[in-house]
Structure 1
Amino acid sequence: MNKLDRYNDKRDFDTTPEPRGEAALAGGSQASFVVQKHDASSLHFDFRLEWDGVLLSWAVTKGPSDDPSEKRLAVRTEDHPVAYGSFEGTIPEDEYGGGTVMLWDSGAWEPLHDVAKGLKEGKLHFRLHGARMEGGWVLVKMGGGKGDRDNWLLIKERDDFAGRSADALVNKYKRSVTTGRTMREIAADTPAFEAVTHKKALPRFRKVELATLKDEPPEGEGWQHEVKFDGYRCLMAVGKGGVRLYTRNGKDWSDRFGALCGPADALPCDAALIDGEVVAERGGFSELQAALKAGDPLVLHAFDCLHLDGDDLTGKHLSERREALEGLFGDLPPRGPLRLSPVLEGDGAEALAAMCKAGGEGIVSKKIDAPYSGKRSKAWIKAKCIQEAEFVVGGWSPSDKKGRAFSSLLLGSYEDEGFVYRGRVGTGFDDEDFEALAKELKRLGRKTAPFEGDLPSETKGSQWVTPELVAQVEYTEFTSEGRIRHGAYKGLREDKEAENVSAKAEAETDSGDEEIGGVRVSSTGRVMFPDAGLTKGDVARHYARVAERMLEHVEDRPLSLLRCPDGIEEECFFQKHAGKGFPEDIRTVPIKEKDGDTADYMYVTTPAGLIGAAQMGAVEYHVWGARRDKLERPDRMVFDLDPDEGLGFDAVKRAAVEVREGLEACGLQSVPMVTGGKGVHVIVPLRRIAEWDRVKDFAKGFAQALAEKEPKRYTATMSKEKRKGKLFIDWLRNERGATAIAPYSLRARPGAAVAVPVSWDELEELDRPDGFHMGDMEDRLSRTCPLGEVDAQGLGKGAMEALEDWAG
């Protein structure tokens, strides 16, 4: 027996406006729920949960209550078709269920255990994500129902969404969640949206702002995080003369988006220009394509207001534009065809994690204080859960299967070097797709391949087309060659011009995962050092290679990372506290700071910790001069020899030797390290007997004494005015909380040099401080580290007295 036979048998579809009962395929990442207020023989609320192609249905006699102490009778009724979830209207009086039906609430539901088992055992526990019903709920089956009545109880769980009054929920909301109409207005068939008089000129189309793709959302304050929708970008203009709906490229699609024109014409304003995204009521891009063909309902999620009542708002901050948008949309029904794009709570990482968990596409993060630029901007950053992009069709592979017009489409994108081959897509097509695409491929046929350069063997025997069709494709990753893996066709995009389709950002962001040193590293093909052509994978492999040696000098020290998530030519920032999503091998130690507060600092103890930092986009590693078991007793002292512009490396080497000689006069042995920058560090290994103040006082006194001995060559003052033509002997690395570049760390500078400890004899032979690179590490690791050849020395009373004698 069909699940919907009972539903169909009870209704005469020549009379009732209700939809005919047909089981539906799954539509979207989350199942829907709907509550319909139903004034039949008695007023009740129909509670429906989408499952297995139908709406499981219960009649709740008094309506749902968000008071956990209130148990509402819910009588199980026949399953309804999923299409019933959008029904609002009046069922003829003589028909089954005759009366007025209002869409009172809708949204997504999340079962918390196996649904089939819950229905069988009589307990269904779930979460609701609706406009009015939210949080945890439970349906519990009762025993001893009269006749064939299947009685359950609908009960609210005690959580942040629980209320205290039995009927507050149904008394508060008297209007439709989709049309804003009352029961009386629905019964009178009052139009859901009535046009108003717009007194100012219709705003013209203007170029839309586009987001920059990043691997992860931005950190810190000053960002607003929103849902990334899977639809068509739309600029909605309202004013004298009605409504115009434009694509991102300025095409007038008012006819194709016609379902939105009536609601837009009812907006209470003199004129407006609204930026948003058009989506299907249910599902993703494929469902939107189907909805456009069938003329089904559409939804515009509005996220920006560029013009309102004659005022251009593009120069104002996003926060001000959002306020204007909320004022315009504030009284619209929350599940109507025009909706405010929700702002997600939490920081970017939390928002993205929540969106991915919910099955969404991703988020767009926007600077709150930025104007609307009308171009691709880093004030808008998108981060994706699903790998999906546009590609241009350049050919097709024939199929030997009957009824299949082709085996796969060959895809490309337009980059600086021309039309680049990006791989194939061979799944995701239905019969209508094959039929429609076959006609287009025949129309666009050509004899030669449109792609630049040599093509792989997989394209042998293919047929070529002029690259005009733009396809939306989901994929798992990009290969190191810049081609997609496991592509699935989602539909054609008619709103984008082929010559504007680039996949460079996706290829650099999504170019594959790889296990390096036992750590899963994502986006290994992303270029980190453009001049050297080195990738994120290369950086991770460097730290895997040097890990054992580097840990001798880094292990257990509080650590600061210089992170460059998108490469050294993009934004880089220091981070000393682990953020959300950091690998567990990057550990934390609580440290009391100068202001008395305690903060958790990062440290590593394993190769996985070093590689895990590279996975987070770290390029440079900077360390404290003490280890976490004795934070107040440093085990090294560092003099950073920093030359002014114009001073050559010979001057730095000469200074290093003089520092060495001065330290030896104080009874201390030292080791030089070329930093990979422009200077040299002279490092003194220490026994852990002196505290920070003594180490700092010695370093400061030594630097000042040397500057006084050679005032024309050296300075111990950071001031730029006093550094002209001199070399700064930086002793400030020896304060509590100060850091210095770690041995064997990369430097985030062109060339990708490595900081390397050397012997004094070796330093004399070097001609530059940034001459060691990744390729030199195998040779360096085959030798003993010079830092390990000097014994730690105490900085006691004798050393302080020797300093006074040497300073003279």
Structure 2
Amino acid sequence: MARTDDVELVEVAGHTVRISSPSKPYFSRGVRLTKLDIVRYFLAVAPGALRGIVDRPVVLKRFVNGAEAEPFYQKRAPSDLPDWMRTVTLSFPSGRTADEVVVDEAAGLAWIVNLGCMELHPHPVRTGDLDHPDELRVDLDPQPGVGWNDVRAVAMEVKALLDELGLVAWPKTSGSRGIHINIRIEARWSFTEVRRAALALARAVEKRCSLASSKWWKEERHGIFLDYNQNAKDRTTCSAFSVRPLPDARVSTPLRWDEVMRCDPADFTVLTIPDRFAKIGDPHAAMDERAGVLDALLTMAERDEAEGLGDAPWPPHFRKMEGEPARVQPSKARSSGKSKRVVKAEGEEVDPATAPVAKKGRRQPTMPLIVVAQSSDKAAAEAGLERWKQQHYEAAALLAPDDVLLDRMRGSAYVWYRIRVNLRHVPETLRPSQDTPDPDDDPTRAWRGTKERP
């Protein structure tokens, strides 16, 4: 490595990669790691890290000011891409296209890490066929208050089901609180079909395991959410050996199945993974040799649909899909008024002609949700929640962990946080009413005000 001023020149397999500001702190609150430390980490595990991204378009998630500052996503390849790297043109649900970076070798890995890419976000397709994924991704997302033991239990339930279906599953820690399970598949099905298979899988696990949930809306979830929408086109998850922005520089680590029930994700960090990799290699090294088929999962999906269980909500930036239910959270769903019969009480029905008619435009809440804080500063929003709990201590004492909903809201050029509280476990006599959130910093308010003016 050669150093000139505030630049480090790194030689990687015949290529010289320029590392700017190598001494910039990337982690400081727990471990202390510089930008150059992160580059060296990725070079130490390059064969494993490349396995998840090679020959795939990659979204650049850039932590330009380190792990303790907000990152941003960059789909289009930078203009100064080295001539020894390539791109591929990807189309999105919006109809737009972008030339995205493809990383084929260790030098390219070092080059994107220099841009601040600690989390690697590849699409589940190869450059030779951008319309047919070769990977189904199962994202186990624990809800607030759910512990690691429950996450592992659901992961083992997923494995048991996939074993029955003849599909080989490859687990890894998410690098945070969850587990990712990847399934290599033959590139024969569209994104819509792969997502449909993932939804059938999520619903089947939910039926088998009370800890699992396939519900898209946060207010309906419990336990561990199986995020089927990670398989929709244009969605990515961090790949193996990615570094997550936690104070201990935790790594999304490939596991053997016999490790799942005895591992601690806190043991897998930038400081420990290079030694683990040198000793045992990559537990997912044989993944590409075990591509499976989706026939059994798609048959399950057909059975669900025949029984009246149709599609589930898509991500908000997708157009409304055929067969998709109303894309509105249940607590804000309007009463349709189309039901032929109205159930008044168990076993008692009334003529809809005599039933009260809901006024148009009024929302009929199904969940008692209130907003207690919203701010572009996550810590400020969380402090507002604590003030709300102190002010309403009787109601706060009755909340379940998953009754507190932290929403990370992302606009075109900003991120903000909203905290809602579900009062479903609080008796009506004790439920606080909706008051002005504290803090009340909603960056969309001005925009909405202009849209609502006549």
Q: TM-score band (shorter)?
A: 0.5 to 0.7
Percent identical across equivalent pairs? 30
Secondary structure of 1:567's match?
Answer: coil
CA distance in 2, matches of 1:715, 1:701: 12
Q: CA deviation at 1:781?
A: 3.8
User: How do 1:482-521 and structure 2 match up within 5 A?
Assistant: 510=6, 512-515=7-10, 517=12, 518-521=16-19
Which position in structure 1 is the counterpart of 2:40?
541
CA distance in 2, matches of 1:583, 1:645: 43
Q: CA deviation at 1:669?
A: 1.5
Secondary structure of 1:630's match?
Answer: coil
CA distance in 2, matches of 1:747, 1:603: 21
Which position in structure 1 is the counterpart of 2:323?
none
CA contact (8 A) 2:61 2:117 kept: yes
Q: CA deviation at 1:614?
A: 1.5
Q: CA deviation at 1:759?
A: 0.6
Q: Deviations over 1:331-364 (max 9, x none)?
A: xxxxxxxxxxxxxxxxxxxxxxxxxxxxxxxxxx
Q: CA deviation at 1:733?
A: 1.6
Q: CA deviation at 1:620?
A: 1.2
- Structure 1 segments unaligned to the other structure (5+ residues): 1-475, 478-509
Q: 1:565 to 1:643 in 2, by over 3 A?
A: same
Pick the aligned partner of 1:663 from 142, 151, 162.
162
Which position in structure 2 is the counterpart of 1:676?
175
- The residue type equivalent to 1:730 in the other structure is D
Pairing 1:706–2:205 present: yes
Q: CA deviation at 1:766?
A: 0.6
Q: CA deviation at 1:784?
A: 4.2
Secondary structure of 1:651's match?
Answer: helix
CA contact (8 A) 2:174 2:252 kept: yes
Which position in structure 2 is the counterpart of 1:550?
49
Pairing 1:775–2:269 present: no
Q: Deviations over 1:32-51 (max 9, x none)?
A: xxxxxxxxxxxxxxxxxxxx
Q: CA deviation at 1:581?
A: 3.3
User: Which structure's CA Rg is the greater one?
Assistant: 1
- The residue type equivalent to 1:677 in the other structure is S
CA distance in 1, matches of 2:56, 2:294: 23
Which position in structure 2 is the counterpart of 1:745?
242
Bigger share in helix: 2
Which position in structure 2 is the counterpart of 1:765?
262
CA contact (8 A) 2:88 2:127 kept: yes
Pairing 1:689–2:188 present: yes
- Structure 2 segments unaligned to the other structure (5+ residues): 308-454
Which position in structure 1 is the counterpart of 2:441?
none
- The residue type equivalent to 1:515 in the other structure is V
Q: Deviations over 1:738-775 (max 9, x none)?
A: 11111111112211111111111011111336634333
Q: Deviations over 1:403-431 (max 9, x none)?
A: xxxxxxxxxxxxxxxxxxxxxxxxxxxxx
Q: 1:802 to 1:644 in 2, by over 3 A?
A: closer
Q: CA deviation at 1:557?
A: 0.8
Pick the aligned partner of 1:615 from 114, 134, 151.
114
Instruction: State the TM-score, normalized to the length of structure 2.
Output: 0.61
CA contact (8 A) 1:688 1:794 kept: no
Pairing 1:633–2:128 present: no
CA distance in 1, matches of 2:244, 2:153: 23
CA contact (8 A) 2:201 2:297 kept: no
CA contact (8 A) 1:586 1:613 kept: no
Q: 1:631 to 1:696 in 2, by over 3 A?
A: same
Q: Deviations over 1:122-174 (max 9, x none)?
A: xxxxxxxxxxxxxxxxxxxxxxxxxxxxxxxxxxxxxxxxxxxxxxxxxxxxx
CA distance in 1, matches of 2:185, 2:11: 34
User: How do 1:134-213 and structure 2 match up within 5 A?
Assistant: none
CA distance in 2, matches of 1:668, 1:749: 32
Which position in structure 1 is the counterpart of 2:285?
788
CA contact (8 A) 2:206 2:213 kept: yes
Q: Deviations over 1:619-663 (max 9, x none)?
A: 211111111111112111111101011111000000000011111
Q: CA deviation at 1:708?
A: 3.6
Q: CA deviation at 1:606?
A: 1.3
Bigger share in strand: 1
Which position in structure 1 is the counterpart of 2:335?
none
CA contact (8 A) 1:652 1:727 kept: yes
- The residue type equivalent to 1:793 in the other structure is A
Which position in structure 2 is the counterpart of 1:653?
152
Pairing 1:599–2:98 present: yes
Secondary structure of 1:741's match?
Answer: coil
CA distance in 2, matches of 1:796, 1:701: 11
Instruction: State the TM-score, normalized to the length of structure 1.
Output: 0.35
Q: How many residues align?
A: 298
Q: 1:804 to 1:769 in 2, by over 3 A?
A: farther
Q: Deviations over 1:2-46 (max 9, x none)?
A: xxxxxxxxxxxxxxxxxxxxxxxxxxxxxxxxxxxxxxxxxxxxx
Q: 1:714 to 1:588 in 2, by over 3 A?
A: same
- The residue type equivalent to 1:526 in the other structure is K
Secondary structure of 2:146's match?
Answer: coil
Q: Deviations over 1:556-584 (max 9, x none)?
A: 11111221112122231122212333444
Secondary structure of 1:660's match?
Answer: helix
Q: Deviations over 1:447-491 (max 9, x none)?
A: xxxxxxxxxxxxxxxxxxxxxxxxxxxxx73xxxxxxxxxxxxxx
CA contact (8 A) 1:717 1:728 kept: yes
Q: CA deviation at 1:782?
A: 3.5
Secondary structure of 1:788's match?
Answer: coil
CA distance in 2, matches of 1:524, 1:535: 7
RMSD: 2.4
Pick the aligned partner of 2:216 from 718, 722, 727.
718
Q: 1:690 to 1:558 in 2, by over 3 A?
A: same
Which position in structure 2 is the counterpart of 1:800?
298
CA distance in 1, matches of 2:294, 2:113: 39
